[in-house]
Amino acid sequence: MRNPKVETVRGVNDVLPPTYRLQKQIENQLSSCFQSFGYRPIDVPVIEYTELFLRKSGEELISRMYDFTYHNRRLCLRPELTASVARAYIQTTLQGEPLPVRLYYSGPVFRYEKPQRGRYRQFTQMGVEAIGAAGSMADAEMIALACQSLDKLGLKDYRVVLGNISLLNQFLRTMPLERRLGNFLLSQMEELRKVRRAALEAAIEEICPPDNLVETSRLQHLLQGLSEEEAKATILELLENTNVNLVGNRQKMDIANSLMGKIQRAEQKPLWLKALDFMEQLAQLQGKPQEVLPSARQLLASYHMDSGGLGELEEILAILPSYNIDSTRIRLDFGLSRGLQYYTGTIFEIHHETLGQERQLCGGGRYDDLVKTLGGNNDIPASGFSFGIERIRLAMESEGILPVVEESTVDALIVPLSAAEHCYSIEVGEKLRSKGLRVVLEVRGKNLSTSLKYAAKQTIPFVIVVGEAERLANVVVVKNMATRQQQQLPLEEAVMVMRRENDE
């Protein structure tokens, strides 16, 4: 009876040789594009301290991390590479290099997702990060490099969605929202289009439950117009004047802090309702740049907001034609938020209709605070993007442009006719390898006819037969599997024949 099989973990794939070769070919083409823009390769570990991603990646990503404790250390399998590259920049000599530091990478990342075609729990990201460059020129370089990379691969049916998260960030920053609530709202920008607003409001009520409303509304009324410090001092004074028997200052301070918390929570609801209104209006702004930009400008003016983010988008749109980027591919979407919390400015995604399904091939943007958040210098702006390599392969497949991979990776099979020729056949193999040929040896003791069938099945173009006569005369028999012709030759000549006939 056979032992039970051990299978792959759900959502991860074995990559077999033809697909492996295809993906490497795609990665090589992307590397040469990245290098042509001055990016240098870097490799970072697959395993990191979970803390690296807790600081700024956002709930959405954190909830999908492979996160575990090992020997009292909280570790994870990286869910992306941007935070790792920023960490490596801060931790190594890269930090001393002149800015910007342009890096590219490729490797596996892990996310606990619901698996389906094109969505895996282990997948390959390949991307770039430019650390130390702010502004529209740097942002435009990112978008142009991503598009040119896809153009080089021959992809045609992709579209670029451009947004700017600074508008929402700026709006939320003007409100004294609890940090957790602000982050939640940021993460819900894209959800707004998918779920009903009432459902979202119910979710927020759960995060931020209203306290005893009668008590807090009285206090609120009393403390209206005071700063946080003044309000706290007033509460302390009130406590001093009550007849409640309190022991020491500490206890009074705790009560004051708790009351302040209640008031702040009670004050949150009108704020987050206002934020949801703004987010709903932002989310409606999507389409062709010339149509969307005037409405966006109007919206910001109605909220008396600075339109810096829009100016950046306009600059980027003006730069992109110089990179020969087809402007009909570009749409603006002010509801784009990317689900990662570290973005601070321009963000973008590249989508493709892959096998009847809209898929994101690439995502990226500006993240000016991440280096600081991870303990680096204060003022290091950065931006980058990542492709999902498996999705690029699927997109190429659906456009019918996957390169044909060479079937055989072997030039010749050497067949010793008896055990007496084993050593000679190995020497022949070594000499052929030293000439740059890819050679396999028949090691299972199979006879010539079985070996020929094997070579035909494996599409190996030449079979080299060595029997006693060849060993004694220091020659080999070369058989061309396509023409079925064979000749006995010294090894040097056999190499020339194989090269010549291979080229024909």
CB of 387 to ligand HAM, least distance (A): 6
Please give the C-alpha separations between residue 158 and each of 31, 203, 292, 330, 351, in angstroms, as whole numbers: 20, 35, 20, 10, 6
CB of 118 to ligand HAM, least distance (A): 6
**Residue 354 near ligand HAM by CB under 6 A:** no
> What 8-state DSSP symbol labels residue 363?
E
**Residue 363 near ligand HAM by CB under 6 A:** yes
**Residue 100 near ligand HAM by CB under 6 A:** no
CB of 482 to ligand HAM, least distance (A): 40
CB of 330 or CB of 361, closer to ligand HAM: 361
Phi and psi torsions of 397, nearest 5°: -65, -40
CB of 106 or CB of 286, closer to ligand HAM: 106
CB of 150 or CB of 313, closer to ligand HAM: 150
Interface size with ligand HAM, residues (CB under 6 A): 25
Stretch binding ligand HAM (CB under 6 A), from 15-23, 205-213, 383-391, 418-426: 383-391
**Residue 23 near ligand HAM by CB under 6 A:** no
Beta bridge partners, 127, equal 105, 386
Stretch binding ligand HAM (CB under 6 A), from 174-182, 218-226, 260-268, 355-363: 355-363
The number of C-alpha atoms within 13 Å of 405 and in the hemisphere containing its C-beta is 17
CB of 286 or CB of 344, closer to ligand HAM: 344
CB of 314 to ligand HAM, least distance (A): 22
**Residue 48 near ligand HAM by CB under 6 A:** no
Contact 406, 395 (CB under 8 A): no
Q: Which amino acid is at 279?
A: M
Phi and psi torsions of 287, nearest 5°: 145, -155
Binding mask 117-136 for ligand HAM (x = CB under 6 A): --xx--x-x-x-x-------
- Among the residues of 284-401, which ranges form H helices? 289-302, 308-319, 370-373, 389-398
CB of 402 to ligand HAM, least distance (A): 17
**Residue 24 near ligand HAM by CB under 6 A:** no
Using CB under 6 A, pick the residue from 100, 388, 416, 429 that binds ligand HAM. Answer: 388
Q: Which residue spans within 111-192 are E strands per DSSP?
A: 122-131, 158-164
Using CB under 6 A, pick the residue from 105, 171, 385, 424 that binds ligand HAM. Answer: 385
Q: Show the CA angle centred on residue 503, arms to residues 497 and 504, nearest 5°.
A: 90
CB of 150 or CB of 437, closer to ligand HAM: 150
CB of 351 or CB of 471, closer to ligand HAM: 351
- Cα 130 from Cα 348, distance rounded (Å): 15
**Residue 365 near ligand HAM by CB under 6 A:** yes
Please give the C-alpha separations between residue 323 and each of 152, 162, 492, in angstroms, as whole numbers: 13, 16, 51
Q: Collapse the DSSP code of 42 into the 3-class scheme (helix H, G, I; strand E, B; otherwise coil) and give the result.
A: coil
Q: Map tokens 């005893």 to a residue.
A: 212
Stretch binding ligand HAM (CB under 6 A), from 27-35, 92-100, 359-367, 455-463: 359-367
Q: Collapse the DSSP code of 365 into the 3-class scheme (helix H, G, I; strand E, B; otherwise coil) and give the result.
A: strand
Return the residues of window 390-409 that contact ligand HAM according to CB under 6 A. 390-391
> What 8-state DSSP symbol labels residue 157?
S
Contact 70, 372 (CB under 8 A): no
CB of 346 to ligand HAM, least distance (A): 11
CB of 390 to ligand HAM, least distance (A): 5
Sign of dihedral through CA atoms 360, 366, 369, 370? positive
Stretch binding ligand HAM (CB under 6 A), from 90-98, 318-326, 384-392, 420-428: 384-392
Q: Which residue spans within 355-485 are E strands per DSSP?
A: 357-366, 382-388, 412-416, 439-441, 462-466, 476-480
CB of 319 to ligand HAM, least distance (A): 19
Residue by residue, DSSP assigns 87-132 as HHHHHSGGGGSPSPEEEEEEEEEE-----BTTB-SEEEEEEEEEET
Using CB under 6 A, pick the residue from 106, 386, 398, 451 that binds ligand HAM. Answer: 386
Q: Which amino acid is at 316?
A: I
Q: Map tokens 């942002």 to a residue.
A: 139
> What 8-state DSSP symbol labels residue 5?
P
**Which structure tokens are listed for 198?**
């009432």
Stretch binding ligand HAM (CB under 6 A), from 30-38, 111-119, 446-454, 455-463: 111-119
Return the residues of window 57-96 that contact ligand HAM according to CB under 6 A. 80, 82
**Residue 110 near ligand HAM by CB under 6 A:** no
CB of 324 to ligand HAM, least distance (A): 23
Contact 65, 76 (CB under 8 A): yes
CB of 169 or CB of 486, closer to ligand HAM: 169
Contact 416, 425 (CB under 8 A): yes
**Residue 384 near ligand HAM by CB under 6 A:** yes
- Cα 309 from Cα 164, distance rounded (Å): 6
Using CB under 6 A, pick the residue from 58, 309, 335, 364 that binds ligand HAM. Answer: 364
Stretch binding ligand HAM (CB under 6 A), from 20-28, 31-39, 93-101, 354-362: 354-362
CB of 256 to ligand HAM, least distance (A): 43
Contact 366, 383 (CB under 8 A): yes
Binding site for ligand HAM (CB under 6 A): 80, 82, 111, 113, 119-120, 123, 125, 127, 129, 340, 360-365, 367, 384-388, 390-391
